[in-house]
Structure 1
Amino acid sequence: MTDSSVTFHGWASTGSVQLQPWSYHPRALGPRDVEIQISHCGICASDIHTIKGEWGPLVQGTCIAGHEIIGTVVARGVDQAEKFAIGDRVGVGAIAESCQTCEYCTRGLDQQCAQRTFSFNDTYKVEQDEHRRGVTYGGFADGVRVPGDFVYKIPDAISSAEAAPLMCAGSTTYAPLAHHGAGPDKRVGIYGIGGLGHMALQWARAFQAKEVVAISTSDDKRDEAKQLGATRFVNSRDKDSMKQASGSMELLLVTSFGPDTDYNELLSLVANNGTCVLLAVPEKDISLSVSSLLGRHINLTAWLLGGRTAIRQMLDFAAKHNVRPWIETMPMSDANAAIKKAMDGFPRYRVVMHTGVVEEP
């Protein structure tokens, strides 16, 4: 059931990376929902993979991507009236809904809920009333309606443009570092200094890790990595540097991959009894020597996004410790140029589109 009195205008894909202007009527505003006038939306690699059809067909053949959404509340259902005021500055991440009652939701891992709903190219699953279900459309638009339990107030200290990448890149890197105890007793390595990695370096520094090691395929980002918090830099194509770094990190986050990424070599960096966390999604299955795990009791794990609890903690932590993404802003009216810039790998380190709405704190 849609609300024909409201029309959102966005940039949509029909299976091509070339976006087209597209408008739609949102589902009716339910008692738990919040309507947001969007001011900013970041561009994430998963947006690009989705709109190109690389992660499967589009749910209804048309997709408005974008899950790093910032804007202001312009309407809310009766159940959200005490939580949100009209004009509140808020954000939305990659998850728009979960059941909130299963074992994962109650542990703060709603991103693992069997009924989770992604913020775009997905369908709502929890509502008992069939008329309340529908397709999700994301933040490459001027507005969005989302269940209020997955809407987050943005601290005044964080600008709207900087807040956008925190909703995905920020939470995706903060959550595993917090979960695995990055801190003064941990030497932390970050492989890949890009949209995720540049955030992970800042979190590790803010957690006061014993050592923060940036690992990249070239020296191009050495100086920037140190500005972001790295205490040491390793060029992964320099065999001597990799050998010196062998077994030196209790915690390693893998935030990117390439066609020639050697995962066994990356595991060699992890100390005995240490943990390697995969965040990036390789295009092909990876190859590993099991003996490298068994012989040194290395834990190999992965992490998907940040749950509601982690996002709230992350926003407060970012405000307190001055953790901010490095961004380049572009108007949403130039969405295709912004997507191309992100695809070509030119930004340092995230592209954030703005709609022209002014709503800074």
Structure 2
Amino acid sequence: MATPNLPSDTMLAAVLEQFGEPYSMQQIPRPGSPQGQDILIKVLAASYCHTDAVFASGQLSQDLPRVGCHEFAGEIIALGPDVSSEQELAVGVRVGVPGRAYHPCGACYECTHPDKDIMGYSPYCPSSGNLGLTRDGGFQQYCLVDSRQVAMIPDGLTATQTAPLMCAGLTIWAALHHDKVRWASGIAILGAGGGLGHLGVQFAAHLGMQVLAIDANDRSLELLQQIKATLGPVGQRVYITDARKYDISAMPALIQKSSPDIPVTELGVDAVILLPESQAAFDMGMNLLRNHGTMVVVSFPEKKLEVSAHDLVFRDINVVGSLVGRNHQLREMLVFATKHGVSAKVKTFPFEQLNNLVEEYHKGYGGKLVVDMTL
């Protein structure tokens, strides 16, 4: 599927040139015609993720300069000659773009065991690139992406609502669908008032789970109250808890005693999803779990988490990790979000104000901060 040559003019991009410094807004060359299975998109919205902040601080030891953002959405303006017709992509179609995985190797175990994805493609390929981290991402007006990593945006979802779902949404969706979690009836989400957490509360409630939404600051707890109010009848499945009120050594019993309707007995909950980068939060989660329960670690603190062998052996606790979902999960999530009205609490900024957005992030905004390229 050939496309005409594109003019080699320039575009605006936000370039990280030094770790710990603001983005530099620059005019850089616009990508030319996409090759192979790549597509060229006009970026419509780009969301700021916690990993963007971690990357910008230098903790991931990646190369600079780099155009950040690994959760964004855009409109296709050109397709490479090898884009499969089975994907039904075309010029003018809107797509969501997660950062993983750009150009996987196609030959490793992960790529040849894709679990319902396209053969030869896996977001877990150890050799693939990651947009916004190892390859330039969505903080630019045009971006080359791998056609196999995108999902078409359903009617009814805006670009600014789609962008946060490409990492925050997909990551929490994958955690909720982990083999050891998907059948849970009662689940606790630690850090529930953050970017991933407030989406996870909505997903879990609509999936039929009883949700203990836990956070430890007023701003996040206020956001959770707002989210619960929008859920209608399924909001009755959500129980908001201020972690500052409880002693973690006796947390299940104390919560159950003070709020008997909350789905936490003295035995604990079926599963906990850990979002804060905190040993204290991990310990709290372990105290909330019943025997044979599952702790899903989504965060990646700089230091190691300490795990009690007693919990693993005598309580038969499972500790599992979850990164980002597969492409088929991405499509399923978008359909589910559209059907049930799951949406991020979004605050938008014009592209030129990206550094103002970053300042707002570091003040502890509870929802998602998104660049709207149309402003």
TM-score by length of 2: 0.83
Q: Are residues 1:107 and 2:127 paired?
A: no
Report the Cα distance in structure 2 between the residues aligned to 1:242 and 1:6, rounded to whole angstroms.
60
Report the Cα distance in structure 1 between the residues aligned to 2:90 and 2:138, rounded to whole angstroms.
21
Of 110-119 and 98-107, the range deviating more from structure 2: 98-107
Match of 2:259 in 1: none
Question: Any conservation in 2 of the 1:236–1:242 contact (CA below 8 Å)?
Answer: no
Match of 1:89 in 2: 94
Displacement of 1:36 in angstroms is 0.3
Match of 2:207 in 1: 207
Q: Are residues 1:34 and 2:39 paired?
A: yes
Query: Residue 70 of structure 1 aligns to which amino acid in structure 2?
Result: A
Query: Residue 103 of structure 1 aligns to which amino acid in structure 2?
Result: Y
Match of 1:350 in 2: 368
Q: Are residues 1:293 and 2:312 paired?
A: yes
Query: Residue 251 of structure 2 aligns to which amino acid in structure 1?
Result: M
- Cα gap change, 1:262 to 1:205, in 2 (>3 Å): closer
Report the Cα distance in structure 2 between the residues aligned to 1:262 and 1:164, rounded to whole angstroms.
28
In the alignment, structure 1 segments of 5+ residues that lack a partner are 123-135
Q: Deviations over 1:169-220 (max 9, x none)?
A: 00000012122365675201100020111111011011111x1101112455
Match of 2:25 in 1: 21
Displacement of 1:231 in angstroms is 2.2
Question: Any conservation in 1 of the 2:95–2:151 contact (CA below 8 Å)?
Answer: yes
Query: Residue 121 of structure 1 aligns to which amino acid in structure 2?
Result: L
Match of 2:8 in 1: 5
Q: Are residues 1:196 and 2:196 paired?
A: yes
Query: Residue 21 of structure 1 aligns to which amino acid in structure 2?
Result: M
Match of 1:307 in 2: 326
Report the Cα distance in structure 1 between the residues aligned to 2:107 and 2:328, rounded to whole angstroms.
14
Matched ranges for 1:178-327 at <5 A: 178-180=177-179, 185-192=184-191, 193-209=193-209, 211-218=210-217, 220-222=219-221, 224-226=223-225, 227-228=227-228, 229=235, 231-239=238-246, 242-244=251-253, 245=255, 247-258=267-278, 261-327=280-346
Matched ranges for 1:54-69 at <5 A: 54-58=59-63, 61-69=64-72
Q: Are residues 1:332 and 2:335 paired?
A: no
Report the Cα distance in structure 1 between the residues aligned to 2:92 and 2:177, rounded to whole angstroms.
32
Displacement of 1:221 in angstroms is 4.0
Report the Cα distance in structure 2 between the residues aligned to 1:221 and 1:147, rounded to whole angstroms.
35
Match of 1:131 in 2: none
Q: Deviations over 1:98-151 (max 9, x none)?
A: 2345432322582321222111231xxxxxxxxxxxxx2111110101121112
Structure 2 SS opposite 1:34:
strand
Of 234-243 and 143-152, the range deviating more from structure 2: 234-243
Question: Any conservation in 2 of the 1:18–1:336 contact (CA below 8 Å)?
Answer: yes
Displacement of 1:336 in angstroms is 0.6
Report the Cα distance in structure 1 between the residues aligned to 2:50 and 2:29, rounded to whole angstroms.
24
Report the Cα distance in structure 2 between the residues aligned to 1:224 and 1:66, rounded to whole angstroms.
24
In the alignment, structure 2 segments of 5+ residues that lack a partner are 1-5, 229-234, 256-265
Query: Residue 206 of structure 1 aligns to which amino acid in structure 2?
Result: H
Structure 2 SS opposite 1:118:
coil
Report the Cα distance in structure 1 between the residues aligned to 2:201 and 2:246, rounded to whole angstroms.
23
Query: Residue 141 of structure 1 aligns to which amino acid in structure 2?
Result: Q
Report the Cα distance in structure 2 between the residues aligned to 1:30 and 1:12, rounded to whole angstroms.
24
Structure 2 SS opposite 1:253:
strand
- Cα gap change, 1:326 to 1:278, in 2 (>3 Å): same
Displacement of 1:252 in angstroms is 0.8
C-alpha RMSD over aligned residues: 2.4
Match of 2:3 in 1: none
Displacement of 1:71 in angstroms is 1.0
Q: How many residues align?
A: 338
Report the Cα distance in structure 2 between the residues aligned to 1:39 and 1:288, rounded to whole angstroms.
43
Structure 2 SS opposite 1:55:
coil
Match of 2:130 in 1: 118
Question: Any conservation in 1 of the 2:201–2:213 contact (CA below 8 Å)?
Answer: yes
Q: Are residues 1:159 and 2:165 paired?
A: no
Question: Any conservation in 2 of the 1:234–1:242 contact (CA below 8 Å)?
Answer: no
- Cα gap change, 1:102 to 1:190, in 2 (>3 Å): same
Question: Any conservation in 2 of the 1:183–1:208 contact (CA below 8 Å)?
Answer: no
Report the Cα distance in structure 2 between the residues aligned to 1:323 and 1:243, rounded to whole angstroms.
29
